Chain A
Amino acid sequence: MVDRETVVKLVRSVKNQALEERDMLINALHQIQNYFGNYIPVEAAQLVAEELNVPESKVYEVLTFYTMFSTKPRGKYVIRVCVNLPCHVTGGRQIVETLKETLGIDFDQTTKDGLFTLEKTSCLGLCGVAPVIMVNDEYYGDLTPKKVKELIERLKAGGDAK
């Protein structure tokens, strides 16, 4: 159940930060997504459409075009693996395989305990320390299969990943 008040407050705070209101849709969706923990419930998206006075179809368009938004619930930790060339030539393939094996899921799936979602992403701009993954808002570079496994363990234990 999505609390109407909360969503409206979030959207209004985004509006207030801006000099111009008309184009706050993407910023607003980011805030909503952060609040609900990595996804945007459909009812929240509908409320956003109402508050910003744009057609629902427009919000739908934007939600489904940008890869960082999701209407499906995702895990507590969204792991984004870079699958582009610089990470690939420095051992990225093994990192991808290690992640899939350790978590037991494929891309765009969430583990049964609701902790991890695995996603592909494009270049994160950290090629100097490739291969790289992003967990929510934090980056982890210079990875090896061993470090990846250790990271997953730390996250599972509820610890701060650093």
Chain B
Amino acid sequence: MSKIKSIEDLMKIKEKALKELQLRDTGKRGKITVAMGTCGIAAGAKETLRAIVEALAENNISDIAVVQSGCMGLCEVEPTIEVRLEGQEPVVYGHVTPENAKRIVKQHILGNQIVSDLLVRKGEM
């Protein structure tokens, strides 16, 4: 570790560390829940989770929380995820493979457009 010599050096460390700290906080803009019941995992939900987290990071999105939950009951279309964004109705997507996950992040999270071919359910249960 080379010594800090200026306020710019310090700012750089702060920004990097702050991002990591913020990952902890309650997602301000929204939450993505990945169904990780046994069926989901058997269908590949773990890889889906990884893909979502990576996609969010690649697109520099740090105010969305990603959490796991148990089975949502939609086993036929696993892996499933629920996307809850502030000010929008919650949306459940099915068949969320890692590629589809990336699509959802780009189109829905970034572009605010529902990905209709993967949509399973809209609105509160």
Do A and B touch directly, given a CB cutoff of 8 Å in the complex? no
